[in-house]
Structure 1
Amino acid sequence: MSNLKKIWIKLKNLQFKINQKNEQNKQRKFFNHDEKLVLQNTVKNKFPKAKQIKFISKYLSKTEKIVIRIASGVLLITLASLLINLYWNNSQHVPKDGGSYTEGLIGSPRYINPLFASANDTDLDISSLVFSGLMKYSDNGLITDLAESYEISEDQLEYTYKIKDNVYWHDGEKLDSEDIAFTFARINDKESQSPLYFNFKGATIKALDERTVKFTLENPFAPFLESLTVGILPQHIWTNIPAANMTLAEFNLKPIGTGPYKFESLLKNKNGEIKSFNLEKNKNYYNTPAFVNEISFKFFESFSAAVEALNNKNIEGISYLPKEFRERVINNRNLNFNLLHLPQYTAIFFNYDNSPILKDVKIRRILAHATNKEKIVNNILNAEAQIIHSPILPNSLGYTEEITFYPYNVDHAKTTLKTLGWELDNYVIESEETEEEETTEESTDKEVEEPKQVKEEYPFQVRKKNNRYLELTLTTVNQAESISIAKELQKEWQQIGVKLNISSLSPEAIKEVINNRDYELLLYGQILGFDPDPFPFWHSKQTTYPGLNLTSLKSDKIDTILEGARKISDDAARAKNYTEFQKLIAEETPAIFLFNPTYTYPQNKKIKGFSTSKIITPSNRFNKITSWYINTKRNWK
């Protein structure tokens, strides 16, 4: 029995081994088949198919697997880099809506109304963003704004304008030709007391249809197009407000216009003073709307206070930065100092009605010879100005260098003065002096002595003729740049024996002095228009307020030339008049023309797209404000 059991056990073991071997043969056959399949397909297709890749790991060592993972990572990074470079090289930054900008202005707003804004730079700045005119300024001259097109008659007496059809007021009403006619009717109404009254005196306007208006002039007036840059008022808002009450209306501080920005809010302090004024983007603007959503203004009494606010980052720009404040700006790296060309000149104006000495044209020319313009421009203005010798600026219509001017020449000035009988003499200053005595009970009954006349010699000799010293007084505004120029003139003229006294006044006080022509010499600047028309500044009828002729010049020849130029539409012909005008001004020497300054406009670098280079008035720095932007995005080129 035991033998049978042993045989049975051996048979079982044999069967198990046979079964195990058969199983191994099956597995070997399966793997050989797969291997053959993989190899055959790989040879056939050169690259494994996706369903074959799952078997690769069975044939790779650990090191090979790591190498493949690293190579795959490098491949992915390379592909990503190529895609990024492809996008970057074929796309660009473009402006994106959003952001806000805050600017500091000197002074406070009163009339944000185009009929009155020209008298105040702050009003004009804000008004230029809220209102639109038929025409507007650009770097290349005048272009249409509200107007779609215009025509001028051959006799230069009729100007016909076609208005754009897609213009809406900020309150949603549509603009039409009646708004245009109403605005100019109010300007011509004396009761409105608009400073623009004289610009349109004698002109009539008529609305021909909903989109057409016609201006008719009494006489040809070449600069008339420039007058049409004035903003237009909404008739439906102002028609029920009498002309005499226009300056009292709340719409002067809560304006409704058609410009790229509209009124949002204002903030007053407890004294009723406006501290900030906020505008928001006009999304329905008839041209391309602005990118920057909000423009805010904060108001300061002085440039010093404005610069401090800029340094403290309470504002992001200032309307204008005088040169003497440049070094006080501490965050220069965050600012762009935009240098703009302004049609303005600074001159010394002679009022010889108030000074017998200045009636002699030879004395006026001598003072010109004693004025070192180059030193003033280089040392005081840091060379940020252009020396001039004429009221017609370089690159303006009719400008010529073929005029007589009086270069800096101290020796010539001294010799000429001596020839005219002006001899150097000791200048004696007489002043009153009272001897102070100690006050005691014993001296209370003492007789008080009369003031004594004390004579003091001026440290420099002054020229004298017919018992009269060559002594003059120069009036200027109380600002650092003007004072520095005045003191430099004082030193220069002192060299030839002229005693120059300086009277510096606040901006408010000097306006009164100018209106009354209460000065001998005036150091002051005048802003011209786009058209170089000198009539308002040099015609004999403009020597009294509100005229802008700041000298005593009265010349029939000059008057005739200026009157004639206004009637000439051909630029070449008008230029001849202006050339002759400059020659006569040089002969008369009613002023010493010093320089044409640059206008420095500091602005935070977050503002991009500022490209203005020429301005007519300071408010023109906003001419291209719809192109300014803060945020950006990338678009395919």
Structure 2
Amino acid sequence: MNSLRPKKKKSFKNVKKTFQNISKEDLKTKADKLKGASQKHVSKFVVKRWDSISNARLEIITWLVIVFGIIFLSGIQLSVIQNNFMQETSIDGGTYVEGTVGTIKTLNPLYASNESELALSRIMFSSLFKMDNTGHLNTDLVKKYSISEDGKTYTLELKKNVKWHDGEVLKANDVVFTFNLMQNQEARTVLGSNWKNINKIKVQSLGDEIVKFELPLKFTNFINSLTFPIVPEHILADVKKSQLRENNFSSQPIGTGAFKFNKKQQIGEGISSKTGDDQGYSVTMVSNNDYYEGKPKLDSFRIQAYPTKEELLKAINNNDVNAAGGLNPQNIKELTNKSLDVVEKPLSYGVYSIFNTVTSQDLKEIKFRRALQFATNTDELRKSLGMKTALYSPFIAGQIPEDSIEKPEYNVEKAKKLLEELEYKEKDGSLYKGDRKVSIEMVATTDDQMDLVADILAKEWKSLGIDVKVNKYSLSDPSQNFVGSVLQTRAYDVIVYKYAITDPDVFAYWHSSQGTGVGMNLAGYTSAVANDFLVSSRTAKTSDVKLRRYIGFAKQWQQDVPAIGLYQDQLEYVKTKNSSAFSGDTKLNEITDRFNDVYKWRIEKGLVRKTP
């Protein structure tokens, strides 16, 4: 190792000596040679090969353009194929969730009393007849029917392919059984009040498929009355009539409708501060694959019932439901969910300010009632509520010719003049009859804007000096017992109420025989002339004669002013854009008529091949 060290030192010294002996010219010459060699190297291995790299890159880019071009053209081709041969449309399957207002206390259709219960009744149960999508009466469980020449006997033949949800076949005895239940006082059915003289009608089954009704008198609109839900005799026959409402059938019903009961669940927690009821319930129904009109398109249908409209609106805004009915124009303005479609439909309901002509000291006088009519601006009232259709008679639009009746005049001065003729005098802003200060007790429900209507009327009538007190009731609060403590006892001077006028036979609302107790003549209206028109219209032999009697009654009604027609009600229905519910051309008489073709509804969309 020692021998190597001197050599390194010697070598370093030699190198050093060599550089010392090189002149500047020689050093420059050598540097120039080194520079030239470097340039030749760069030219040979970089510059001359750059073209090859560029060409390779160009080929790569070209191939990428071709590949992306093929993908792009394939996308265009697929789009063309879809446009020409495929279309987006509603498809089968899924669950339709609709929100309603009203706590579900029973699923027995004979006791259904609020929007939620009535909706479930229409979906799970069937009736002999129902309104179709054109707004006309059509058969449901009935295959065909005939009416005797004297108009007193109706013979119905039932469809053969109808099954109850438990698999049993529907029979004529089921119809007879249901009819008899409604006339049984112990059963206390809600629908029973609509058949005050039901015991005078005889009904019998002739075999399994024929039902015969025999009437004591000719009643041309009797067929319109056969829209009540049919319940199964084989399940309820042995149940005591007094215990029918509390029976297990009310929680696990068996019907013949498009959907059958699956389960009932509570939604929300706690108790509603407004109604005292549970926050709400949902009822899920599954497709009835044996439905006589055909298998439903949906897999299931769910009704989510909320105690108040405020809670329903919250559910709509939070997308907790696909759709909701039973709303009004004011509710629509409160929606923040703008992704929904709004369907607006007129309904066969007339909203009235009805006068108690029996017990009210002032309202017994026709002139006093007419004064209130003069002081009521129905045009502005409708406008403020968002209602479209006027109502000037006991009939809704289209039932009698519009030019056959007069539009009531709005004229406050004429109202005051009539009051002066009756010796009413205004003192310090209040109206007096002698020493008695005139006051009116007005009743309205907090449902369907009736309370808003009452507030508007109270404000207008106060311009005459009348002290108007508005008492408001909630139909959702059973503790208030609105029907028993208000309607049946006629505990009001004026009531804001709406009548279902699906048929121009309004006997139940204005004939004097219906003026007390469970009768629906809430005005206690009595007129021999009006009675005659109402009775004779039921026995009219031709439609022309019947129409003339309806017009005669309307004119007498306007002259007597038992009520003020305010507006025809309308449905505001919201739904998601993907859902396919009742069609835009559907005409509705009642709110629940929207379910008439519920077996055709859909909730999902997808691509399907176009049919040629």
**CA distance, structure 2, for counterparts of residue 323 and residue 144 of structure 1:** 33
Maintained 8 Å contact 1:220/1:568: no
Structure 1 counterpart of 2:101, from 101, 106, 110: 106
Q: How does 1:107-126 map to 2 (within 5 A)?
A: 107-117=102-112, 119-126=113-120
Instruction: Tell which deviates more after alignment, 472-481 or 627-636.
Output: 472-481
Say whether 1:351 aligns with 2:356. yes
Say whether 1:636 aligns with 2:610. yes
1:635 corresponds to which letter in structure 2? R
Shift of 1:580: 0.5
Shift of 1:159: 1.6
1:418 corresponds to which letter in structure 2? E
Q: How does 1:58-137 map to 2 (within 5 A)?
A: 81-82=76-77, 84-117=79-112, 119-137=113-131
Residue of structure 2 equivalent to 1:306: 312
Shift of 1:80: 7.0
Per-residue CA deviations over 1:141-167 (Å, capped at 9, x if unaligned) read 111111221122221122222222221
Residue of structure 2 equivalent to 1:219: 217
For normalisation by structure 2, the TM-score amounts to 0.81
Say whether 1:371 aligns with 2:339. no
Say whether 1:328 aligns with 2:334. yes
In structure 2, the residue corresponding to 1:318 is in which secondary structure?
strand
Structure 1 counterpart of 2:488, from 494, 510, 515: 515
CA 519–70 in structure 1, closer or farther in 2 if over 3 Å, else same: closer
CA 420–97 in structure 1, closer or farther in 2 if over 3 Å, else same: same
CA 279–422 in structure 1, closer or farther in 2 if over 3 Å, else same: same
**CA distance, structure 2, for counterparts of residue 236 and residue 536 of structure 1:** 33
Say whether 1:410 aligns with 2:384. no
Q: How does 1:471-490 map to 2 (within 5 A)?
A: 471-478=439-446, 481-490=449-458
In structure 2, the residue corresponding to 1:388 is in which secondary structure?
coil
Structure 1 counterpart of 2:260, from 241, 259, 262: 262
For normalisation by structure 1, the TM-score amounts to 0.78
In structure 2, the residue corresponding to 1:215 is in which secondary structure?
strand
Residue of structure 1 equivalent to 2:393: 390
**CA distance, structure 2, for counterparts of residue 65 and residue 300 of structure 1:** 65
Instruction: Tell which deviates more after alignment, 558-567 or 199-208.
Output: 199-208
CA 275–76 in structure 1, closer or farther in 2 if over 3 Å, else same: closer
**CA distance, structure 2, for counterparts of residue 605 and residue 263 of structure 1:** 27
Q: How many percent of aligned residue pairs carry the same amino acid?
A: 28
Q: How does 1:553-564 map to 2 (within 5 A)?
A: 553-564=525-536
Say whether 1:492 aligns with 2:492. no
In structure 1, the residue corresponding to 2:109 is in which secondary structure?
coil
Maintained 8 Å contact 1:156/1:569: no
**CA distance, structure 2, for counterparts of residue 148 and residue 480 of structure 1:** 37
Maintained 8 Å contact 2:151/2:218: yes
Maintained 8 Å contact 1:365/1:406: no
**CA distance, structure 1, for counterparts of residue 525 and residue 190 of structure 2:** 24
Residue of structure 1 equivalent to 2:366: 361
1:523 corresponds to which letter in structure 2? V
- Hey, which bits of structure 1, 4+ residues long, moved more than 4 A? 62-80, 268-274
Shift of 1:542: 0.9
CA 166–550 in structure 1, closer or farther in 2 if over 3 Å, else same: same
In structure 1, the residue corresponding to 2:389 is in which secondary structure?
strand
Per-residue CA deviations over 1:20-55 (Å, capped at 9, x if unaligned) read xxxxxxxxxxxxxxxxxxxxxxxxxxxxxxxxxxxx
**CA distance, structure 2, for counterparts of residue 261 and residue 167 of structure 1:** 13
**CA distance, structure 1, for counterparts of residue 560 and residue 270 of structure 2:** 54
Q: How does 1:520-599 map to 2 (within 5 A)?
A: 520-528=493-501, 530-568=502-540, 570-599=542-571
Instruction: Tell which deviates more after alignment, 498-507 or 538-547.
Output: 498-507
Maintained 8 Å contact 2:516/2:524: no
Residue of structure 1 equivalent to 2:11: none
Say how many residue pairs are matched: 537
1:130 corresponds to which letter in structure 2? M
Per-residue CA deviations over 1:136-193 (Å, capped at 9, x if unaligned) read 1113211111122112222112222222222111111222223223222333333322
Per-residue CA deviations over 1:214-262 (Å, capped at 9, x if unaligned) read 2222212222212222222222212222333211211112111111000
Residue of structure 1 equivalent to 2:301: 295
**CA distance, structure 1, for counterparts of residue 303 and residue 81 of structure 2:** 43
Residue of structure 2 equivalent to 1:11: none
Maintained 8 Å contact 1:392/1:399: no
**CA distance, structure 1, for counterparts of residue 474 and residue 70 of structure 2:** 73
CA 288–405 in structure 1, closer or farther in 2 if over 3 Å, else same: same
In structure 2, the residue corresponding to 1:240 is in which secondary structure?
coil
Per-residue CA deviations over 1:472-513 (Å, capped at 9, x if unaligned) read 232222469334333332332233333323222333534321
CA 324–82 in structure 1, closer or farther in 2 if over 3 Å, else same: closer
Structure 2 counterpart of 1:138, from 107, 128, 132: 132
**CA distance, structure 2, for counterparts of residue 100 and residue 158 of structure 1:** 43
Which sections of structure 2, spanning at least 5 residues, go unmatched? 1-56, 272-276
Maintained 8 Å contact 2:327/2:448: no
Which sections of structure 1, spanning at least 5 residues, go unmatched? 1-61, 427-460
**CA distance, structure 2, for counterparts of residue 413 and residue 235 of structure 1:** 58
In structure 2, the residue corresponding to 1:248 is in which secondary structure?
coil
